[in-house]
Amino acid sequence: MSRARSLRSPYALRRRLVAVMAILVPCLTSALAVAQEAVVSAEVPTVVGTARERAIERETVARVELGYRGSFVTNAGYNPFSSNDYLPQFSLLVSRTVYVAHPFAFATGLAWDYAGGGDFARGSPSALTLGRVTVPLEGRLHFGDWGYAFARVSPGVAFVRAEIDDPSAPAPLAKERWLFATDVSAGYAFPLLPRRAASTRTARAWLQADGGYGWVANERLDLTPGGGASGVDLGTLALNGAFFRIAVAASY
């Protein structure tokens, strides 16, 4: 009877509650810690993955491209300067990313394409020089570590000089003009080194290719030696046609 009273006494009850709490508190603390770790581990891959996907887009803010461009010109006015309707060109482009909204980006810059060659026209050596300066407006769709697809519209101007070295003329027959020009193309850029995204901006090498169509305003080839002397009329030159371009690039 005395033992039963002692068990029901406030002191005995308090001792039992303290003992129960001493067991339950560590268990609850451990359970909460495990649950918190599970939540953090579930969230971290998404955050890290997003950061990795966006890293290359943030890195590619300044870019230099150096490449080869080949154009297919079927206009008859180009025949005096080529025997195969093909116009090889050197291509240089400098650009900068100005807007990023994952996975899209937009860049603009300045491009220069140069071609110089010739053939024979009317039995005399001929030469054609083309210098194209354009402003590429480029939209990009990024695919994480696999690079990005892009589309470009590049309005600008072209300097065209045509010349025939006719021995019967007092001076070479020539004409030069600045003409409106523009390109439309689409392609893909693949990162070479390093392949993986970095936590900070880093220098990166790229391999890329694109293809499209280029326009240059038509020009009448009425070549003269200058000084008011008469010359020859070779018809209309239209340096329009499909083209491809292969380039290596460096970005930072």
In the chain, domain spans: 2-49, 60-251
User: How deeply is 108 buried, as exposed, middle or buried, from its count of CB atoms within 10 A (0-12, 13-18, 19+)?
Assistant: middle
Element (H, E) at 244: strand 241-251
Looking at per-residue pLDDT, the higher value among 21 and 232 belongs to 232
Distance CA 245, CA 209 (A): 6
Taking domain 60-251, whether its CATH number is 2.40.160.20 is answered by: yes
pLDDT of residue 41: 45
| Mean pLDDT to the nearest integer, 20-27 | 52
Give the tokens for residue 104: 């899209």
**Nearest CA to 205 among 96, 20, 60?**
60
Evaluate if residue 112 carries a pLDDT over 90.
Answer: yes
Nearest to 73 by CA among 87, 58, 61, 54: 87
Read off the pLDDT of each residue in 144-172 and give the average, rounded to a whole number. 93
Q: Two tokens at 217?
A: 């305003």
Instruction: Confirm if 98 and 140 have CB atoms less than 8 A apart.
Output: no
The yes-or-no verdict on residue 119 having pLDDT over 60 is: yes
Alpha-carbon span 68 to 196, nearest angstrom: 27
d(CA 129, CA 119): 12
Task: Please classify residue 164 by burial: count the beta carbons closer than 10 Å to its beta carbon, then call 0-12 exposed, 13-18 middle and 19+ buried.
Answer: buried
Q: What is the pLDDT of residues 184-204, one digit of tens each?
A: 999 999 999 876 666 567 889
Instruction: Please name every residue paired with 132 in a beta bridge, in sequence order, or none if there are none.
Output: 113, 158
pLDDT of residue 123: 77
The pLDDT score that the predictor gives to residue 27 is: 52
